[in-house]
Amino acid sequence: MITPHISFPWKTFLLRVVFPTLLTIILFTSVFLYVIIPTIRNNGIERKKEMIKELTTTAWNVIAKYHNDELKGILTREQAQKEVIEQIKNMHYGQQSKDYFWINDMTPRMIIHPYRNDLYGKDLSNYTDLDGKKVFIEIVKVVAKSGSGFVTYKWQENDNSSLIIPKISYVKAFAPWGWVIGTGIYIEDIETEITQLIKNGVAAAIAICTFNFLILIWIISGSYLKHKKEREAALELENIKSSLALSEKMASLGTLSAMVAHEINNPLSGILSYAKLSSRYLQKENRTDATIDIVNNNLSIIASEAKRCGEIVKNLLLFAKQSQGNVSKVHLNDIIILSTKVIDHSAKMKELELLAELDSGDDTIFCDPGTIQQILVSLIVNAMESSTQGNRIIVRTDYTIAESIQILVIDHGHGIAESDLPFIFDPFFSTKDSNSSLGLGLSAVYGIVHQHSGTIQVESQLGVGTTFTIILPREYNENPHK
């Protein structure tokens, strides 16, 4: 149970909840930046390269179709090549239909280019881009080696001759005619598309991280509010327990006060009776020696009863003195003897025999003597209330174990029903029919024993009696879960 003075366990919460969540967010962000984004970039480039490869193959198939017509004699080579040039010249694709195909031969010489009429029929062996790269020589080398492949260079952006930017093209040779057909895509366009994909991915990652962060805040807030409510509930429970403890103390005080009043009232009544009787004898005019003897005897009885009142008060003062709530090293036998003296006369008034069968071994123990007296008196009073005239109540000790002591409170009274035994230590549970008990006595006994890190057990049988067995460690270690 959370006690009111314990603050929110931030260290444990940070290690078990906050740190793993933040670590997950950091790992996710790192994986996204260093794995996912490069993968998106590479896949984007590869996808575009695959696209221009397929487009070039499609255009190559157009050339192959007309070449087939040539082979069949449907068209001459010149006619077939003219038809191909017209079709390729008009083949465009892309968002603005500005992306195109071109054809050059292995010389290399330009056959067709939709945006560079100035290169038609010219030898391109010495044509270089801004970086000095001989573009068409590289194209011829690639197709001469593998029949097709990718070439990177710088070229004008479609029909905009003033903007020269990097480009990647796929070229494929058509060997029967000695031609090379190709198409390409500008790297800037690839980067733009990939950047947009990355932006979308980053936006999704930010949304996921934000969602996780909000969940973390919600968990922290919920846990703190739950802890706060638990603390408030624990504080309220502590207040209730304090009130119940006070009620039980008042009830115990009332029971003890009634016993004390009864015990003191008996000798005081005797003192008053013998004092009045002696006064009457002394008022007689003809006082004889026998009268004097009677008065002297009455005075002896008065002195004896007054002494008994003094013993009762002395025992009560000793009882109060040991109820200071301080843990110290004490002799358990002394506590038991004092506790039995306090209520011995009440036991005799009920014609019960209260016996203390104390072990002669080492009876030292570190404890709160006041609370130990409280549980002894409470158990003895319970035994007295369940016993009938002539029965015996025994307080027995066993000190044979070095680490602990054992106390048994035995009566031969009415006993407790087996169905009631599991509940006798519950607050407000009582086996008594009257309303004089709050049902807190045994609950308080259990709490005190538990506070001393001890155990209490009960064995009972209806019509036979009850035995309470308390085992307490000799060294006091306050139970943290009391």
Query: Domain extents for the chain?
Result: 13-193, 323-482
φ/ψ of residue 336, rounded to 5: -65, -45
* Other Cβ atoms within 10 Å of 312 Cβ, number: 20
Q: Are strands 455-461 and 465-473 parallel, antiparallel or unpaired?
A: antiparallel
User: pLDDT tens, 83-128?
Assistant: 999 999 999 998 788 999 999 999 999 999 999 999 999 999 999 9
Q: What angle do CA 15, 21, 23 make, to 5 degrees?
A: 85
Q: Out of 3.90.650.10, 3.20.20.70, 3.40.50.2300, 3.30.450.20, which CATH number does the structure's domain 13-193 have?
A: 3.30.450.20
> What is the DSSP code (8-state) at residue 14?
I
Q: What angle do CA 107, 113, 114 make, to 5 degrees?
A: 175
Structure tokens at 219: 């968990």
The string of pLDDT tens digits covering residues 320-371 is 554 445 788 999 999 899 888 877 777 887 889 999 999 999 999 999 888 8
Mean pLDDT lowest among 112-116, 153-157, 268-272, 414-418: 268-272
pLDDT at 308 over 70: no
Residue 154 DSSP SS3: strand
Q: Give residue 2's pLDDT.
A: 38
Chosen CATH of 323-482 out of 3.40.50.10800, 3.40.30.10, 1.20.210.10, 3.30.565.10: 3.30.565.10
133-140 mean pLDDT = 96
User: What's the predicted TM-score (pTM) here?
Assistant: 0.44
Residue 357, CA distances (Å) to 175, 268, 406 in order: 121, 32, 12
